[in-house]
């Protein structure tokens, strides 16, 4: 997605220099890091944003741009592993966050091609069909919605043979690169301090404050928000709380119109019940973008770890 925006339209922010006193320090370089910079009743307007390699890391510029109301994991699996109460809370909180994020983009008038869309999780093999039935039962037993789509309806909508699907309501698509730039610009316009190419060398804490030491200066702050995507050598103690995966993203060449007409509705996001799952969306109504096929990443040195994807991009 990053190469869809001319470099002349990408804002430049200064490097951090000298000492600075701020309320909240946000360490990172992508869309997840920009979110806390948006003004709210609980977050002071003076914040700090640091990127190690420049504005918007590859994880944001090369992501699917899918705002899902679901966390990308099975409700049945979460319930089995953590209990019904936790599973219901997790899915409810994720849905609320997805709706809030879309609302934030609209409120700030961020130009990122935000568009509501349908989404389906389909089953195309007997094994996936079993997972689909298990998921529908688990959700309905928990009192959650589980809109089931018949195989005939999936065929008519997506031109794919399947054993049925779960429909997701309230999904949306964005250009994640533009969304990140837009949120950051809105935050800067409301008083946030944004720096780029200012790698953090170390952090120090005491009971009342924290010190963030960058390549060019220091920042004294009350709170530090770490949003680096994966724990770096600065936060080695966090590593045990993460599962490491390598996620793949493929953007196909433009598909001829005659072929596109055979591929069903292009306004629907497609996810399957494979483990790991695959997700597909259309870009500009002409190209297919496919993500998924997550694989285990080695933990050979925190500073050398490969990209980390939490649940879904």
| The token pair that represents 239 in the structure block | 């590593």
Q: For the purposes of burial, counting CB atoms within 10 Å of the CB of 84, is it exposed (0-12), middle (13-18) or buried (19 or more)? A: middle
The answer to whether the CB of 32 falls within 8 A of the CB of 187 is no
Q: What is the pLDDT along the chain (313 residues), one digit of tens a residue?
A: 556 666 777 778 888 899 988 888 888 767 765 655 555 434 433 445 554 445 555 567 778 889 998 888 899 999 999 999 999 999 999 999 999 999 999 999 999 999 998 899 999 999 999 999 999 999 999 999 899 999 999 998 888 999 999 998 889 999 988 888 888 888 888 788 888 888 888 888 888 899 999 888 999 998 888 877 677 777 777 777 777 777 788 888 999 998 988 888 888 899 999 888 899 999 888 889 998 877 777 654 444 333 333 333 3
Q: Is the distance from CB of 213 to CB of 200 less than 8 angstroms?
A: yes
Task: Reduce the DSSP state of residue 138 to 3 states and report it.
Answer: helix
Q: Is 216 helix (H, G, I), strand (E, B) or coil?
A: coil
Question: Using an 8 Å Cβ cutoff, are 252 and 288 in contact?
Answer: yes
Reading the block at residue 148, the tokens are: 């089931």
Q: Provide the sign of the torsion angle of the four alpha carbons 58, 59, 60, 61, taken in this order.
A: positive
User: Residue 145, exposed/middle/buried by CB under 10 A (0-12, 13-18, 19+)?
Assistant: exposed
State the residue for tokens 């996620």.
247
State the DSSP H helix or E strand holding residue 97, giving kind and residue range, or none if neither: helix 84-107
Instruction: Decide if 60 contacts 176 (C-beta within 8 A).
Output: yes
Q: Which residues contact 271 (CB under 8 A, 6 or more apart)?
A: 119, 120, 121, 122, 277, 278, 279, 280
DSSP conformational letter for 260:
H
pTM above 0.95, yes or no: no
């Amino acid at each position: 997605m990053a190469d869809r925006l001319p470099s002349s339209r990408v804002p430049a922010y200064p490097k951090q220099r000298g000492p600075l006193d701020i309320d909240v320090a946000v360490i990172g370089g992508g869309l997840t890091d920009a979110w806390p910079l948006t003004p709210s009743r609980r977050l002071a307007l003076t914040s700090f944003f640091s990127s190690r390699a420049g504005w918007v890391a590859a994880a944001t510029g090369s992501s699917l741009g899918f705002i899902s109301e679901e966390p990308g994991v099975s409700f049945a699996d979460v319930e089995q592993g953590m209990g019904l109460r936790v599973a219901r809370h997790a899915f409810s909180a994720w849905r609320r966050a997805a709706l809030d994020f879309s609302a934030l983009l609209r409120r700030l008038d961020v130009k990122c091609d935000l568009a509501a869309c349908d989404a389906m999780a389909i089953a195309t093999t007997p094994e996936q069909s079993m997972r689909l039935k298990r998921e529908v039962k688990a959700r309905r037993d928990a009192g959650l919605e589980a809109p089931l789509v018949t195989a005939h309806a999936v065929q008519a909508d997506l031109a794919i043979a399947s054993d049925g699907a779960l429909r997701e309501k309230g999904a949306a698509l964005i250009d994640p690169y533009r969304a990140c730039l837009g949120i950051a610009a809105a935050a800067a316009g409301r008083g946030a301090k944004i720096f780029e190419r200012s790698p953090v060398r170390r952090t120090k804490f005491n009971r009342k404050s924290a010190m963030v030491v960058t390549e060019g200066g220091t920042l004294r702050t009350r709170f530090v928000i770490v949003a680096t995507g994966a724990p770096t050598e600065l936060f080695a103690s966090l590593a045990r709380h993460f599962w490491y995966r390598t996620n793949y993203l493929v953007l196909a060449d433009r598909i001829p119109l005659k072929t596109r007409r055979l591929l069903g509705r292009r306004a629907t996001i497609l996810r399957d019940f494979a483990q790991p799952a695959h997700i597909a969306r259309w870009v500009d109504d002409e190209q297919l973008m496919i993500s998924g096929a997550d694989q285990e990443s080695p933990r050979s040195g925190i500073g050398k770890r490969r990209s980390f994807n939490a649940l879904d991009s």
